[in-house]
Structure formats: structure tokens, C-alpha cells
């Protein structure tokens, strides 16, 4: 089976599993449940759950074991987008080509939907039919990546930095937390489900760190070069909000050169894993070449 066919199968699996993971829109409280489903099932690249499956494939993990961590990381990502779009945060009205959750519903419902998606994510792993030690390891990984030491901490640094230029080192640290932590967690949880040795976990952490940073560099480039229609969200917001970006600090040519360097780091890190890592290589390639 080709990598493209594998991705198509995984995406079908992801959509089905996400649908089953969320409460029925006809059950009370209906508004909350509808908002949760709106936030999660409205499209998206599904990069993070794909990374769970790809990380697990390297070590021969059973796909059934990967389902709960894959769904959990996507629910955390969806909750973060709902909250990032709120008026108190990035104040955005467009996400994935349609109104953001607080516009489609209301601000209070959007906040609660994000909260509920976060707790649902951890519940999925806690209740998964996996060995207790593996559930704990995945919960630790996802909790660390989601909180003050990861995604939330990165968002706080982003808010603090709005309106002035950051040094490159600070910008990379911010995005290593805001974007990279959840990407590292996705790959790591997949590898954990395949009982990867500690040395391989460390190698994949390095690969995934480069992937997370590459994803953000590409995002910054697209914010300048792509349209809102292409992105499915408001283009040009970084410049409008005077945020530090890789093109702003390095110039567009410098940002693209940095992206190439990160790409080389990813592929060098995966060189020793042969065909089982083809799916992760393809996702790394997608991160640096995507057009939305």
C-alpha cells in the first residue's frame, strides 16, 4: 500500500473515531455538544493524529492501540484553536474556512466547548483498553505538552511578545512550546505504543522538534504569501498584530533557508529507520511544502 493510500485510510479512521469520541448533538446540553462537534469535525489537516499513527508504525504498534492517543491529541489541538480564536486571545472570526466557534455559537459556549474537549482528551486515554503503564505514559506525555510547560506556556509567551520583535532564540523557544510540544507528544505517544526503546524516543523527540518548528516557519511564510481563502483563516494577522515571525526576523529568503535546514534535520534523523518511517517522512515533507 502506498503512503498516500495509508494516509487516506488513516484519515477515514480518524474521522470515524473522532465522531464516535464526541457526545451526541441531540443530548443535553445540546448547545455545548454541538459546539464541540463543530470545533472538531469541521475539517483540518489532522496532522497530529496522523503523526501518532506514523510514529507507531515505525515500531509495529497495533493501530487499535493508537486510536485513543491519536484522538486525544486532536481534541487538545481543537480545544486550543477554539480558545486561541476568542476575543481575549487572537480575536479571529475565521477558522478552516468558516466562522470560528465563538462566532457560530457564542463566547461562553466556545469557552466551555474548549474546556470539555480538553477533559474529553484525557478521558479517552484514561479509559483506553491499554496496559496501565502505557496509559500513564501517554497521559504524562500529553499533559506535559498541553500545559504551562508546553502549548499553554507558548501561547502565554506569544501574548507577552505581541507588539515587539523577539530575538530569534526567543521566537524559536516560544514556538517549540506553542506548536512543537503537541507535535512532539503525538510522535512520542505513537512510539510509546510500539514499545520504542529510550534511545529511539530521544531520536524521535529531536525529529519531531524540528518538524514542529518547520511547521511554524511554513505557517509564517504562508501568512505572508497565501490568501485567506487558501488558508481557511485570516491571512496577514501576524503583521497586523505586530507579532514576531520568521520572515520578519530573517527575511523571506532567510525563512525559506531555515525551513530547508529543518527539513534536512528531520530526514537525517529518520535515516536509520528504513521503510517503516516512510509515513513519518511523508508527513515531514508535507509540513515544509504545504500550501495551506
Tens-digit pLDDT profile for residues 136-154 = 999 999 999 999 999 999 9
Instruction: Please give the residue that has the higher pLDDT: either 241 or 48.
Output: 48
- Is pLDDT at 213 greater than 80 in this prediction? yes
Give the pLDDT confidence score for residue 97 in this predicted structure.
86
Q: What is the mean pLDDT of the chain?
A: 93
Give CA–CA dist 209/206, Å, rounded.
Answer: 5
Q: Which positions ≥6 away from 59 have C-beta within 8 Å?
A: 191, 193, 194, 195, 196, 200, 276
Give the pLDDT confidence score for residue 228 in this predicted structure.
57
Question: The whole model's pTM is what?
Answer: 0.94
Segment 199-217 shows an average pLDDT of 96
Note whether 226 and 218 are within 8 A (CB). no
Give CA–CA dist 21/23, Å, rounded.
Answer: 7
The model's pLDDT over 219-258, given as tens digits with 9 standing for 90+, comes to 999 988 865 565 555 655 655 566 789 999 999 999 999 9
Segment 51-55 shows an average pLDDT of 98
Q: Is the peptide bond before 29 cis (omega within 30 degrees of 0)?
A: yes
Note whether 246 and 221 are within 8 A (CB). yes
- Is pLDDT at 173 greater than 90 in this prediction? yes
Q: Fill in the DSSP letter of residue 23.
A: P
Helix axes 180-193, 47-58, angle to 10 degrees: 40
Give CA–CA dist 55/291, Å, rounded.
Answer: 24
* Residue in the structure block whose three cell numbers are 512543537: 180
Give the pLDDT confidence score for residue 226 in this predicted structure.
67
Give CA–CA dist 214/108, Å, rounded.
Answer: 34
Write the DSSP assignment of 90-150 as a string of letters: T--SEETTEE-HHHHS-HHHHHHHHHHHHHHHHHHHHTSSS-HHHHHHHHHHHHHHHSTTT
Give CA–CA dist 156/16, Å, rounded.
Answer: 33
Query: What is the per-residue burial (b if ≥16 Cβ within 10 Å, else e) of 100-110?
Result: bbbbbbeeebb
Give CA–CA dist 77/47, Å, rounded.
Answer: 10
Residue 74, helix vs strand vs coil: helix
Note whether 134 and 69 are within 8 A (CB). no
Give the pLDDT confidence score for residue 41 in this predicted structure.
96
| CB half-sphere exposure, 21, CA atoms < 13 A | 31
Between the alpha carbon of residue 251 and those of residues 42, 139, 220, 236, 292, the distances in Å are 34, 39, 11, 15, 20
Q: Which three cell numbers stand for residue 65?
A: 492501540
Amino acid at each position: 500500500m502506498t503512503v498516500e493510500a495509508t494516509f487516506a485510510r488513516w484519515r477515514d479512521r480518524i474521522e470515524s473515531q473522532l465522531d464516535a469520541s464526541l457526545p451526541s448533538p441531540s443530548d443535553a446540553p445540546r448547545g455545548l455538544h454541538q459546539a464541540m462537534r463543530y470545533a472538531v469535525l469541521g475539517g483540518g489537516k489532522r496532522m497530529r493524529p496522523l503523526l501518532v499513527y506514523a510514529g507507531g508504525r515505525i515500531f509495529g504498534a497495533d493501530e487499535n492501540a493508537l486510536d485513543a492517543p491519536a484522538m486525544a491529541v486532536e481534541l487538545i489541538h481543537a480545544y486550543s484553536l477554539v480558545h486561541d480564536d476568542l476575543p481575549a486571545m487572537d480575536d479571529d472570526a475565521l477558522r478552516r474556512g468558516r466562522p470560528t466557534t465563538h462566532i457560530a455559537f457564542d463566547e461562553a459556549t466556545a469557552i466551555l466547548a474548549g474546556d470539555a474537549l480538553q477533559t474529553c482528551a484525557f478521558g479517552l486515554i484514561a479509559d483506553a483498553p491499554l496496559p496501565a503503564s502505557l496509559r500513564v505514559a501517554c497521559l504524562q506525555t500529553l499533559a506535559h505538552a498541553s500545559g504551562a510547560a508546553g502549548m499553554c506556556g507558548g501561547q502565554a509567551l506569544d501574548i507577552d511578545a505581541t507588539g515587539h520583535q523577539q530575538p530569534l532564540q526567543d521566537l524559536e523557544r516560544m514556538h517549540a512550546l506553542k506548536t512543537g510540544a503537541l507535535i512532539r507528544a503525538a510522535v512520542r505517544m505513537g512510539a510509546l505504543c510500539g514499545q520504542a526503546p529510550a534511545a529511539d524516543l530521544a531520536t524521535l523527540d529531536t525529529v519531531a522538534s524540528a518538524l514542529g518548528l518547520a511547521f511554524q516557519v511554513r505557517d509564517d511564510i504562508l501568512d505572508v504569501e497565501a490568501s485567506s481563502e487558501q488558508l481557511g483563516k485570516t491571512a496577514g494577522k501576524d503583521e497586523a498584530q505586530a507579532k514576531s515571525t520568521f520572515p520578519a526576523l530573517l527575511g523571506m529568503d532567510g525563512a525559506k533557508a531555515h525551513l530547508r535546514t529543518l527539513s534536512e534535520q528531520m530526514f537525517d534523523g529518520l535515516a536509520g529507520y528504513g521503510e517503516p518511517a516512510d509515513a513519518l517522512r511523508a508527513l515531514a515533507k508535507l509540513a515544509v511544502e504545504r500550501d495551506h
